[in-house]
Amino acid sequence: MARAAARRSGLTAPRGLTALLVVVAAATLVAAAQVDSPSAPVAPTAEAVAGGARLYALNCAVCHGASGRGIDEARLAFPPGDRHCTRCHKPNNRAVQSLAEPLVDNDMFSIGVPPPLVPTAGAPAPLAATASPDALWAYLSHTMPRYEPGRQSPREYWQLTAFLLDLNGREAAAAAASAASE
């Protein structure tokens, strides 16, 4: 009897289940977007960007350079004899070397291939110039600093994100990261 009623109404178990799954998936995506994404963009707070600048100077500039242009810029601060040293920064080294493990020459971490100073079709722009605030925050918080990923608090990673976005002229994206850091 119930089957006949279902056939008459056009609903069958597979269709009803599919519709239910679509509704549940949509509700889950909406809820996740509301929880995971930063609040609506507001003007970047000077405090968040300044906090990110301080954190960058202390934790990032040694490898990424004072203005974020990468190892080529950072090398300029090295002593002249060490500007092309690969004892610690060889591309074939592991991506992460824990400081709890004994260090051996040529065994610190890989810096990979730095992005170009001027992006071209064959050499893309740095991540901070193109990624969403959420994606940049996720990358930073899971991979930086290379020797101790996750070292900063979530708030500090948001401040770094705001600073890097601001540094790349992305004020609206920096505003979203600033709001998330508060």
> Would you say the C-alpha torsion 85, 90, 93, 95 has a positive or negative sign?
positive
Query: Could you tell me if residue 23 is inside a domain?
Result: no
Query: Could you tell me if residue 24 is inside a domain?
Result: no
Query: Could you tell me if residue 27 is inside a domain?
Result: no
Rg, Å, the chain Cα set: 23
Query: Could you tell me if residue 61 is inside a domain?
Result: yes
Query: Could you tell me if residue 52 is inside a domain?
Result: yes
Predicted model pTM: 0.56
For 122-158, the pLDDT digits (tens) are: 666 677 778 889 999 998 999 888 778 899 999 999 9
Q: What is the mean pLDDT of residues 8-14?
A: 52
CATH of the domain at 154: 1.10.760.10
Domain count, the chain: 1
Spatial distance between the Cα atoms of 177 and 128, rounded to a whole number of angstroms: 12
Report which of 131, 173, 143 is spatially closest to residue 38, judged by C-alpha positions.
Answer: 173
Query: Could you tell me if residue 21 is inside a domain?
Result: no
Least confident stretch, 55-69, 70-84, 99-113, 145-159: 99-113
Query: Could you tell me if residue 79 is inside a domain?
Result: yes
Spatial distance between the Cα atoms of 141 and 134, rounded to a whole number of angstroms: 10
Query: Could you tell me if residue 124 is inside a domain?
Result: yes
User: For residue 149, what are the domain limits?
Assistant: 42-181
SS3 readout for 48-67:
HHHHHHHHHHHHCHHHHCCC
Report which of 71, 180, 123 is spatially closest to residue 160, judged by C-alpha positions.
Answer: 180
